[in-house]
Structure 1
Amino acid sequence: MALSSPTPKVGDLIEIFRFGYSHWAIYVGNGYVVHLAPPSEIAGAGASSILSTVAETAIVKKELLSKVAGGDRYRINNKHDDKYPPLPANKIVKQAEEWVGRKVRYSLIHDNCEHFVNELRYRVSRSDQVTDTVTTVAVASGVLAVLGIFGMALARSKRERQ
């Protein structure tokens, strides 16, 4: 089910909301997207496709957006246009289509579907999902470390008073 957003334009990044993460594709026209999909990725599978995150390789596919999204919501999300100038649409599509059918290295941290589409649109390989998750884990670890130190200090203080 699409969000109420305009019809994608060629070269637009499409964010598809899966259970617990977003899958990314690039719109290449006539209802089609190109995306990086581990072999276990089942288009429109939603929650079950999270199993694809453990794959080491992926295949670049050209499929109908409606098939890739299935019942999941999606939106146009060219979120880095203010930071990086997008390549011309015809160049984005040309290079995206050159990748179709190729088997490539896949890593949830370094080479995922978001890295792939950002590289095609901006020539910058990045995944905000990965960056946000690493930041959250680092902050949580820091908080836990501070709480642990505070707890140890309280326990020491309590022992010293006894």
Structure 2
Amino acid sequence: MEPEPQPGDLIEIFRVGYQHWAVYVGDGYVVHFANISGSSGINLGQACSGKVKKRKLRHVVQNSRWQINNKLDTTHKPRPAQQIVKEALSYVGKKMIYSVHLRNCEHFATELRYGKAMSLQVIKVASAAGAAVAGAVIAGPAVAAAAAITALLVVKNSASMSTSSSS
């Protein structure tokens, strides 16, 4: 059983193919940023509609596994919990641009906790795409093209799964 989250904690929710992120604000509630447009936002430069919501943690999690994940605390100083919660609550109900690559739920949550938007999911995908480019230099264009297509399919599938659960 997961320990009780504290205000300001980041909550990582394990969905099929990706992780959804939220900020715990107390009394069983989280604030999270969700894509509400029905579009995956996978194309670079494509803007989707997103909305910040406050909901009970158990409603956002549904049947998914979740954990408190403040692991970036080792490399980034967290802001005071009261400041994180106050700012998170100030966003509730606001519509903002959502982008899988540039402004997703993980970017939103980490910016609240650390003052800096980061998404390790995006960094991992970018690293995979970088490996495909490196393959062009080492193995030739045909192998690199296959690796690039595979990387794009992983990104596309991950993004399309993120829109199927509009938490």
> Which interval holds the TM-score relative to the shorter structure?
0.7 to 0.9
Q: Which moved more, 1:126-135 or 1:31-40?
A: 31-40
Across the aligned residues of Structure 1 and Structure 2, the Cα RMSD in angstroms comes to 1.9
CA distance in 2 between counterparts of 1:8 and 1:30 reads 10
Are residue 8 (structure 1) and residue 11 (structure 2) matched? Answer: no
Q: Kindly state the Cα deviation for residue 68 of structure 1 after the two structures are TM-superposed.
A: 0.5
- Per-residue CA deviation, residues 6-44 of structure 1 (Å, 9 max, x unaligned), is 11111000000111110000000111100001115xxxx
CA distance in 1 between counterparts of 2:26 and 2:99 reads 27
Q: Which residue of 1 aligns with 2:123?
A: 131
Q: Any unmatched runs of 5+ in structure 2?
A: 42-46, 144-167
Asked whether the equivalents of residues 28 and 57 of structure 2 are also in contact (C-alpha less than 8 Å), the reply is yes
Q: Which residue of 2 aligns with 1:71?
A: 63
CA distance in 2 between counterparts of 1:20 and 1:108 reads 13
Aligned residue identity for 2:64 = D
Q: Which residue of 1 aligns with 2:21?
A: 24
Q: Which residue of 1 aligns with 2:81?
A: 89
Q: Which residue of 2 aligns with 1:53?
A: 40
Q: Which residue of 2 aligns with 1:120?
A: 112
Change (3 A) 1:31 1:140: same
Q: Kindly state the Cα deviation for residue 137 of structure 1 after the two structures are TM-superposed.
A: 1.4
Q: Which residue of 1 aligns with 2:92?
A: 100
Q: Kindly state the Cα deviation for residue 130 of structure 1 after the two structures are TM-superposed.
A: 0.4
Change (3 A) 1:147 1:121: same
Task: State which of 123, 148, 157 in structure 1 corresponds to 2:140.
Answer: 148
Q: Which residue of 1 aligns with 2:148?
A: none
Q: Kindly state the Cα deviation for residue 145 of structure 1 after the two structures are TM-superposed.
A: 4.1
| Percent of paired sites with the same residue | 46
CA distance in 2 between counterparts of 1:27 and 1:97 reads 10
Asked whether the equivalents of residues 31 and 88 of structure 2 are also in contact (C-alpha less than 8 Å), the reply is yes
Asked whether the equivalents of residues 39 and 48 of structure 2 are also in contact (C-alpha less than 8 Å), the reply is no
Q: Kindly state the Cα deviation for residue 140 of structure 1 after the two structures are TM-superposed.
A: 2.9
State TM-score, norm by structure 1: 0.79
Q: Which residue of 1 aligns with 2:154?
A: none
